[in-house]
Structures are given as structure tokens and as C-alpha cells.
Amino acid sequence: MAGRQKLTATQLAGLVALLLGTLVICNDFTALNVVIPSIETAFKVDVTTAQWVISGYALVFGVCIVTAGRLADMFGRRRIFFIGMTIFCSFSLIGGLAENAWVLLGARALMGIGGSMIWPSLIGMMYGLLPEERAALAGGLLMGVAGIGNGMGPMLGGFFADYLSWRWIFFINVPVGIIAVLAIFWAVPKDGDDDTKEGIDYPGILALSLGLFLLMLLLDISADFGWLSPMVISMFAVSIFLLSLFAFIEKRAGLDALVPEDVFSNKDFRFSNISVLLVSAIYFGTLLYLPQFMVKDLGFSALQAGAGLLPMLGMFALSSFVAAPLYDRLGPKLVISIGVLCLGVGVFILSWLQAGTTFASLVPGMLIVGIGTGLFYSSITTAAITSIDPARSSLASAIIFMVQNAGGAVGLGLTTAIVVSAPSLADGIDRAFFVNAIMALVALVVSLLYVAGPLTRDNLLPWRKENAEELAE
């Protein structure tokens, strides 16, 4: 550890600039969650329509992100970031000025294209900026700031809705986005010359985009139409066909493949994503139903429920920062496994809630879940991205995000199915969180057996290795 390369002033300035961009995109993800009632009132629409301000953005973001990550690796991450931020800020301004709901929904959906270009570009630039031995620092800072942004979002959204206007959630993106662009233009080195011999896999892009669109759309509407409705079943069948067609196309696309063979066949990357899928299924369900319990059983307002998640989100951010030195000291497998274990323990504690449970009783479980997810996401991101060619880092981050969203959607569906079948909300959450705790055990086994990295005495007792090295010197 003593021999690690010290960061230069240029690298530090680049980190600050990239983290500002991370804050913009992550804050925007959650800021609108608490202002849906304000949008309903402003445009005289029902909650089903207003909710598409969130769902439409997430849908387009999820559909486009793999393509955007591949383009960033091919044509330059800084270049794709600038294009993405221009799209994001332009349609954010249009959304803030919208005179009817349809303009707002359209602008918000198109913001998803910009966001999908920003996120993998940021991650690729972050890991490319730092030397390989400091990769854990990139993951820790990235997820720590992402946690801060996600935690700030509901608070900032509630402040604007109460004291200014919900429109300022859109307006604020413009000056902050411009500052992020200028900072990255100044502090992050230019992209290398575009000498790629790889082409754009248009059939693969089309098959993947349509398949993901249908899959994510059916996950969103299944609660309204039912999982066994003919429309949902048909959409599922077509999406599976399109995603299978995508895999078939990729096998024959060679260097032009949207997801090249070296990524498809990488065992460490594949099992990292399986861990992400399982953990996200657990975490997203927790994020959805804890606020619902606070509102419906504890009588919290939407803003108070958003603030009620701060123990979990704050600990997520803090443990993400701590994860970097732990990753360097203990290795990826152990830190990731500790994170999954903490998540399982925290969810198990939360599964004991009942109708008379107080907010104070929720805090210990939320803190432990925050510790676990912070350690997990920062470490698994670094482990997955560093397991493949650095030239593929933006694509890798995009795939991780896509898998995270897919796991979250599956988890929300499973948790919702358990909750609605119970006699009360508290009973349903109790049962669902117990199932999630069991799922965490499965994720722990996957992490211990298959995630990259050794599990040796030196990992478990790192101070003994350091003492031996000092004696040898």
C-alpha cells in the first residue's frame, strides 16, 4: 500500500469535475419522486399519467444505456458526455417551461437519452483517469457521491415544490450541467484519436432496444393489467424473442458487436452481474416499501418519508467512501461478501416490523442496509469493470446499470406480489422482507464462491501480512 501512486493535481481536478457530473445525474433520478402531486395539480392529470414523468425517463434511460456505453468506448467518453449533457440540459429546460403534461412527459423521456449517455461516459472517464491500483478509489467516490445525490434529490425536490415551484427541479439542471461541462472540458484529458476499426452494430442496437423497451414497459404496467393478462404475456414473449435475436446477432457481428465476445464470455464479469441482479432485487423493494410504510402506517408526509430514508441513504454514501480502502486492504471478494451479509441482516431486522412499529425501530435495520449496499455497489462496480479490457469500461458500466435496473424491476414485482396478497401493508412487508433476507443468503453464496478475488488468510488477517513485510525489510 505504501507504493501506491500519488494522484496528481490534474487527476484530482478531473475527479472533482467528474463527481460534479455524477451529482447532477443522480440528484435528478430522485428529485421528482416527491413532487408528483404538484404535477398532477398543475396539469390536472391523474397519478397514472403524472407517474410517467419518472417512468418515461427511466424507461428511455434503461433502453439506451448499453448502446450509449458502447458508443462512448468507440468514439470517446468525453465527446459522448458533452453530447449527452447538451441533450439532457436542453430538454430539462423545455420540461421546466412545459405548458401541458404531454410536452413535459416528452421532454422528460428525451432527457433519458442524454442521461444514458452521461452515466457510462462518466464512469469510463473516472476509471480511465486513475491508475489501475487506485480503481477502488474511483468506485468508492463514484458510489458515495451517487448516494449523496440520490439522498439530496427528494429533499431538493420537496424544497422547490414547497417554496418555489416544481419547475425549478428542471431549471436547476441547466446551470449545474453547464458548470459540469466546463469543469470536465478544463480538467479531464481529451479523448484519444478516433482510430477504431469497429463499426456500429445497427441490427443489434435495434433488437436490444426493442427487446428492452418491451421488457421494461411490461414490468411497469404489469401491476395495472396483471401478470397473466394476454397483453403482458404477449409483450413478454416478444421481448424474449427480440433479446434472443440480439444474442444471435452478436455471435455473428465480430468486432462490430454491440456487446463484444470478450465481454459476453468473461466469467468474472458475468458472476458480478448475477450478484448485482440479486442485490438490486432486494434493495429496490426496500426503497419502495419503507416509505410506503412511513406514509400509510406512521402518517408521514411524502417529504418526511423522503427524509426518513436518510439514515439508509446517508450510510450508503458513507460506506461507499470507506469501501475504497477496504477493497485495497481486503480484496473484492471479502468486501462484497460483507456488504451482502450486512444487507441480509438489515433486511431481516426490518422484516420484524408490524402495525405498531415506530420510526426509531426502523433505524437500526436501515443503517445496516445502508452499510451493506454502500460496500457492495462500490466494490462490485470496481471488480466488474476491472475484470475486462479497460477499453470496454463504459460499456461494462452500462451493462451493470442495465442489470441493476432489471434486478430492481424483478424485485419490485416480487415484493409487490407478496405485499398485496397479505391482509395488511405491515404484514406484507414483513413477509416480503423475510423472503428478501433469504435471497440475500443466495447472493452471499454467489459472492463467496464466484465473484473474482481470493479469500485467503492474508485477506482475512491483513495486518499479519503487513507485519511480515515490515520484518522482512
What pTM value is reported for the model?
Answer: 0.80
Q: Are residues 179 and 225 in the same domain?
A: no
Tell me if 470 is assigned to some domain.
Answer: no
Q: Are residues 186 and 274 in the same domain?
A: no
Same domain, 247 and 296: no
Closest CA to 462 of 331, 371, 322: 331
User: Distance of alpha carbon 165 from its chain centroid, rounded?
Assistant: 27
Is 449 part of any domain?
A: yes
Out of 147, 162, 190, a domain closes at 190
If 0-12 CB within 10 Å is exposed, 13-18 middle and 19+ buried, where does residue 216 land? buried
Task: Kindly state whether residues 250 and 146 are assigned to the same domain.
Answer: no
3-state SS, residue 361: helix
Q: What is the predicted pLDDT for the residue at 196?
A: 60
Residue 313: what pLDDT? Answer: 87
Q: Are residues 423 and 280 in the same domain?
A: yes
Report yes or no on 5 lying in a domain: no
Using CB atoms within 10 Å of the CB of residue 350, give its burial: 0 to 12 exposed, 13 to 18 middle, 19+ buried: buried
User: Residue 45 in 3-state DSSP?
Assistant: coil
CA distances from 375 to 143, 166, 302, 411 (A): 9, 33, 28, 20
Euclidean distance between CA atoms 422 and 155, whole angstroms? 32
Q: Using the 3D structure, point to which of 167, 190, 213 is the last residue of a domain.
A: 190
- Phi first, then psi, for residue 349 (nearest 5°) are -60, -45
283 and 253 together in one domain? no
In a domain, 295, yes or no: yes
DSSP string, 214-232: HHHHHHHHHHHH-TTSHHH
C-alpha grid cell for residue 107?
Answer: 421532454
**Strand, helix or coil for residue 438:** helix
* All three cell numbers of 42: 398543475
- Domain identity same for 155 and 181: yes
Q: How many CB atoms lie within 10 A of CB 247?
A: 14
User: Residues 451-454: contacts with CB within 8 Å, 24+ apart?
Assistant: 451/268, 451/271, 451/272, 451/275, 451/332, 451/333, 451/336, 451/337, 451/380, 451/383, 452/268, 452/271, 452/272, 452/332, 452/333, 452/383, 452/387, 453/331, 453/332, 453/333, 453/334, 453/383, 454/331, 454/333
Residue 208 included in any domain? yes
Element (H, E) at 155: helix 135-163
Residue 195 lies in a domain: no
**pLDDT value for 1:** 47
Among candidates 224, 246, 242, which has minimal Cα distance to 234?
242
* 319 and 362 both lie in a single domain: yes
Q: Does residue 3 belong to any structural domain of this protein?
A: no
Q: How many CB atoms lie within 10 A of CB 32?
A: 24
What Rg do the C-alpha atoms of the chain give, in angstroms? 22
Our count of domains for the chain comes to 3
Report the distance separating Cα 373 and Cα 341, nearest Å. 10
In this structure, the answer to whether residues 26 and 72 fall within a common structural domain is: yes
Per-residue pLDDT tens listing for the chain (473 residues)? 445 667 778 888 888 888 888 888 888 877 887 787 788 888 888 766 777 888 788 888 888 888 898 888 888 889 999 999 999 999 999 999 999 989 999 999 999 999 999 999 998 888 888 877 777 788 788 888 888 888 788 778 878 887 888 899 999 999 999 998 998 888 888 876 655 666 777 888 888 888 888 887 787 677 667 777 888 889 889 989 998 998 888 888 776 777 777 777 788 888 888 999 899 889 888 887 888 788 788 888 767 877 888 899 889 889 988 888 888 888 888 999 999 999 999 999 998 888 788 889 999 999 999 999 999 998 898 888 888 888 888 888 888 888 887 787 778 777 877 887 788 888 888 888 999 999 999 999 988 888 766 665 555 555 555 555 555 55
Task: Clarify whether residues 329 and 449 are in a common domain.
Answer: yes
Are residue 404 and residue 421 in the same domain, yes or no? yes
Residue closest to 129 by CA, chosen among 12, 237, 244: 12
Domain that holds residue 429: 266-462
Nearest CA among 86, 88, 96 for reference residue 160: 96
pLDDT at 19 (0 to 100): 87
**Would you say residue 196 lies in a domain?**
no
Shared-domain flag, residues 248 and 379:
no
CATH number at 32 reads: 1.20.1250.20
Place of cell 462490430: 256
Helical ranges in 297-353 per DSSP H? 302-308, 310-330, 332-350
Question: Among 218, 235, 257, which residue terminates a domain?
Answer: 257
468, burial (CB in 10 Å: exposed 0-12, middle 13-18, buried 19+): exposed
